[in-house]
Amino acid sequence: METISSLIDRLKSVKHFSSFTPSQLKTIVTAGTLKKFVAGQTVFSEGSPCAGMFVLLRGRIHLCKLGPQGQMIILSVIEPVIMINEVAVLDGGPNPTTAIAAEDCLTWQIGYQAFQDLLEEMPQVGLSLLKVLARRNRMMISQYEDISFRNVIARTAKLILDLSQGGKWPIDRKKCSIEEMARRIATVPEAISRSLNVIKSRGMIEVSRTEIAVLRAQGLAELAMLDLERKSDATPSDSSVSSGMSGTGSNN
């Protein structure tokens, strides 16, 4: 069971809150509430009134956009400890995305008015959000570039590099299915399967029923049109950032 102290420790691990004192964090924690969601449950829906800001403490959440024909695009895969829906809690507008629990989740949530009251008491809460929003903006620009300038094979190679942390770790296929991979790079499962076969035939990856292992990270980087050395040296922007906008809308 989560206590005030344990929540303060968890919240302090969120980059946005790391500079606050224990007393300030206690004020922030007590302004919100804990909420649980089961796998498959919608945390909040795009276009609905502001659901407030959430911090994911346990589990995994998909941030999605839904197309007019029900296509799902995964913008980000959120893992602890990351905050989400900060845009809506700042402007009071509708939720810009849909959040779906990919696993059973525990979150901390603060509503719009409670957050506005915090801003009056601690203006630095809002100021520290500027860097977060700047990083998310860079992420969206990167996603746009992926869709606009990379074909499906290149996007698949880039996704494999991101999911394997530059080729360091095998990708668990139970945790990241073909369908999910497709939704993360704006294509369909069939196109992902074809791309994996092409990349495998070039000796860059090894694919089994349970995992995808990277054999030639530099080859993947060249296929994805990336500078692997520059990518690995770059400061991580946000652990919620996924590799490319995902979805089922494009076969390019």
Least confident interval from 5-19, 69-83, 88-102, 156-170: 5-19
Phi, psi of 8 (to 5 degrees): -60, -45
Answer yes or no: are the C-beta atoms of 52 and 77 closer than 8 Å. Answer: no
- Strands of 61-173 (E only): list them: 61-66, 72-78, 82-84, 98-101, 105-110, 171-172
Of residues 144 and 242, more confidently modeled: 144
Q: Domains in the chain and their CATH numbers?
A: 4-122 (2.60.120.10), 149-233 (1.10.10.10)
Tens digit of each residue's pLDDT (9 = 90 or more) over 33-50 = 999 999 999 999 999 999
The tokens for 192 are 């992902």
> What does each C-alpha distance from 106 to 57, 58, 131 come to in angstroms?
5, 5, 25
Average pLDDT across the chain, whole number: 84
Highest mean pLDDT among 116-120, 139-143, 215-219: 215-219
Give the H/E segment covering residue 201.
helix 189-201
pLDDT of residue 233: 46
Secondary structure letter of residue 169 according to DSSP: S
What is the tens place of the pLDDT at every residue in 114-129?
A: 999 988 888 888 777 7
The confidence score (pLDDT) of residue 1 equals 66
What is the rounded radius of gyration, in angstroms, for the C-alpha atoms of the chain? 19
Please check the confidence at residue 239 and state whether its pLDDT lies above 50.
Answer: no
Helix (H, G, I), strand (E, B) or coil at 245: coil
Instruction: Using alpha carbons, select from 155, 166, 142, 152 the residue that is nearest to residue 224.
Output: 155
Query: What is the share, in percent, of the chain residues with pLDDT greater than 70?
Result: 89
The residue ranking higher by pLDDT, 249 or 80, is 80
CA geometry: angle 245, 64, 150, nearest 5 deg: 10
pLDDT surpassing 90 at residue 223? yes
Considering the entire predicted model, what is its pTM? 0.70
pLDDT tops 50 at residue 69:
yes
Between CA 72 and CA 212 the distance in angstroms is 24
pLDDT at 230 over 80: no
Select the more confidently predicted residue: 71 or 176: 176
| Confidence bin at 172 (pLDDT 50/70/90) | very high
